[in-house]
């Protein structure tokens, strides 16, 4: 796979939580479909799709593809993962417990999961407002929930129009590895994604230069003190050939306002101006 997504690890972390796993696989020239087929699990159902070339603005193609997969989901609850996200096996029981609790509370549409954003290697996570802290990754499958924007969040269709989901915060973790790729793969991935956010950009993979991503775009990192999902063990070991070269000191200087807001958050836990694509509910579980 050209962009180095941990797709196998992501799927394997989701399988224990699902009765059926729908994977939307867009038509491509690489071996993505073959890689997924090789997992050989009867729970997996592959939906082959075509990416609409007209959806070249604001990442809308990602929610459109997510909604195609969502149409095939049959369960009472859906759990959603992107191809660079992995669950930890230690959170499986908590996930079942939280869904069971939410299912008995009709005012709860969805569950919020906490994010760990790894950057440059598997040893550092991003800190501060540069990184989103939480997102909806499980929701009640009413048939009215839709993926929204660039598929980072979800909304629901109601008689009053499109509305936010009511979501309960949990301690379930999402390990996000979108910023841990070989430098050349990361450069290609970022450049290629411009095709789906900017209408007048049309870069083919053949046109992309073989450049290294510098891994200096983060403002602040902290050493990761925990352990990774077991699904990632082999990949982390393989990637040491390049992660060993990551230098956490080569980061961008933090702008004054970002630094000020981050300092307030560290002292109070409150993030000024945090974007919330949900309506949080406070219920003790």
**pLDDT tens, 199-236?**
655 656 555 567 889 999 999 999 999 999 999 999 99
Q: Is it the case that residue 26 has pLDDT exceeding 90? A: no
Model confidence, pTM: 0.94
Q: Is it the case that residue 53 has pLDDT exceeding 80? A: no
Quote the number of domains for the chain: 1
Indicate the SS3 state at residue 161. strand
Indicate the SS3 state at residue 110. strand
How far does the chain reach from its first CA to its final CA, in angstroms? 41
Indicate the SS3 state at residue 229. coil
Average pLDDT (80-88) is 97
Cα separation, 132 vs 219, in Å, equals 14
Q: Is it the case that residue 107 has pLDDT exceeding 90? A: yes
- In sign, the C-alpha dihedral spanning 270, 273, 274, 276 is positive
* Closest-CA residue to 67 (of 143, 167, 177, 172): 143
Confidence of residue 31 (pLDDT cuts 50, 70, 90): confident
Q: Is it the case that residue 2 has pLDDT exceeding 70? A: no
Distances (CA, A) of 218 to 168, 259, 264: 29, 13, 19
- Using one digit for the tens of pLDDT, what is the confidence trace for 144-191? 999 999 999 999 999 999 999 999 999 999 999 999 999 999 998 888
Give 241's contacts (C-beta < 8 A, 6+ positions apart). none
Q: How far is CA 50 from the centre of its chain?
A: 21
Alpha helix segments (H runs only) across 29-165: 32-37, 60-70, 92-103
Domain region containing 261: 1-285
- Rounded to 10 degrees, what is the CA torsion of 184, 193, 3, 277? 120
The percentage of the chain sitting over the pLDDT mark of 90, rounded to a whole number, equals 79
Question: 């709860």: which residue's tokens?
Answer: 108
Cα separation, 119 vs 179, in Å, equals 5
């Amino acid at each position: 796979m050209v962009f180095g997504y941990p797709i196998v690890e992501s799927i394997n972390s989701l399988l224990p939580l699902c009765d059926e796993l729908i994977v939307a696989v867009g038509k491509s020239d690489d071996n993505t479909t073959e890689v997924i087929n090789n997992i050989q699990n009867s729970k997996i159902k592959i939906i082959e799709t075509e990416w609409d070339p007209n959806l070249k603005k604001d990442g809308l193609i990602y929610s459109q593809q997510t909604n195609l997969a969502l149409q095939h989901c049959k369960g009472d609850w859906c759990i959603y993962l992107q191809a660079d996200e992995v669950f930890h096996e230690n959170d499986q029981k908590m996930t079942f417990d939280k869904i069971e609790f939410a299912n008995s509370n009709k005012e709860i549409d969805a569950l919020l999961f906490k994010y760990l954003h790894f950057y440059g290697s598997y040893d550092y996570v991003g800190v501060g407002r540069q990184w989103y802290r939480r997102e909806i990754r499980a929701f009640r499958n009413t048939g009215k929930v839709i993926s929204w924007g660039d598929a980072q969040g979800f909304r629901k269709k109601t008689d009053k129009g499109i509305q936010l989901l009511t979501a309960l915060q949990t301690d379930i973790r999402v390990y996000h590895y979108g910023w841990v790729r070989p430098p050349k793969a990361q450069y290609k991935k970022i450049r290629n994604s411009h095709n789906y956010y900017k209408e007048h950009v049309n870069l083919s993979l053949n046109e992309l230069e073989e450049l290294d991503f510098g891994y200096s775009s983060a403002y602040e990192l902290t050493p990761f003190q925990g352990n990774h999902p077991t699904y990632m063990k082999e990949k982390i070991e393989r990637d040491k050939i390049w992660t060993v070269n990551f230098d956490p000191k080569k980061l961008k200087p933090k702008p004054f306002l970002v630094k000020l807001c981050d300092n307030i958050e560290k002292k109070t836990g409150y993030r000024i101006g945090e974007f919330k694509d949900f309506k949080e509910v406070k219920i003790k579980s």
